[in-house]
Amino acid sequence: MRHTLPIAPQFYVTAPQPCPYLDGRMERKLFTALQGDGAEQLNNSLSQQGFRRSQNVLYRPSCTDCAACLSARIDVSAFRPTKSQKRAQKRNGYLQRRATSPWATDEQYDLFRSYLDTRHADGGMADMDVFEFAAMIEETPIRSRVVEYADPETGNLIAVSLTDVLDDGLSMVYSFYDPDQRQNSLGTYMILDHIDIAREAGLPYIYLGYWVPGSPKMGYKAKFSGLEAYVQGDWQKISDPKAFSGSSQHPLSAAPIAEQVANIQLPDRHPTKG
């Protein structure tokens, strides 16, 4: 099914398929292509409206009978680390960060495969081969970076984040790490380090993807202070994550697709030059 706006990208809807986060539910996504001269502007604009990037596609949940998936971001100015997060920073402080262009390597893929086989063997990416991995990393029409974390003594790659640079923050597209070091809270550490990067660069937000209250896979995002969620067209501060649990996470209030598309704010493709 195709939906269009005048002089605008075309939006499509995927066929329903089993939800990877909540048992017994079906997911559906609204998506559009990310291409052309206006890709950077479009990505910035739609990211601020709850969309996420996957290679050259921008997508947002558009389920018919569930609204549990909430796009989440951290307000850097409001973030305060907890004691356990401070411990994660200290525990991993020896790692050497290196930001590179989005180019896939064999070392990255080996770490990625080890991570998937240990943590997500039954997930949707479990069968991803080296060519698909390279596409995930390299097929980006916008400003993206691969942020690697390595042991400075051995040179071993410990963790990786594919990160997009937006005009108002950093978007952590996908992260993975050495599963043998799970006890070191590497996933938490990468988010904390990105908060530091954003603060140094004067960027106000860290975009974390989707937070799904009630899903153990996605619950870790609620542990970060300064969390905001995109709810019914607006970013709302989440002072109490438990307020989004239970019946409130499934309002069954998804708007019709045509209405959703009509309410998307698109960037001005021909800004007035001063």
Residue pLDDT, tens place only, 87-109: 999 999 999 999 999 999 999 99
Identify the pLDDT of residue 244: 64
How much is the pTM? 0.89
* Architecture in CATH of 82-203: 3-Layer(aba) Sandwich (3.40)
Q: Which residues contact 120 (CB under 8 A, 6 or more apart)?
A: 126
Q: Which residues contact 87 (CB under 8 A, 6 or more apart)?
A: 185
How many degrees, rounded to 5, is the angle at CA 212 between CA 206 and CA 216? Answer: 105
pLDDT over threshold 80, residue 268:
no
User: Is beta strand 169-177 parallel, antiparallel or unpaired with respect to 205-211?
Assistant: parallel
Domain assignments of the chain as residue spans, ordered by start: 2-69+249-262, 82-203
Nearest to 166 by CA among 41, 33, 38: 41
Percent of the chain topping pLDDT 90? 63
| Digit-coded pLDDT (tens) for 150-189 | 999 999 999 999 999 999 999 999 999 999 998 999 999 9
**CA quadruple 76, 82, 86, 88: dihedral sign:** negative
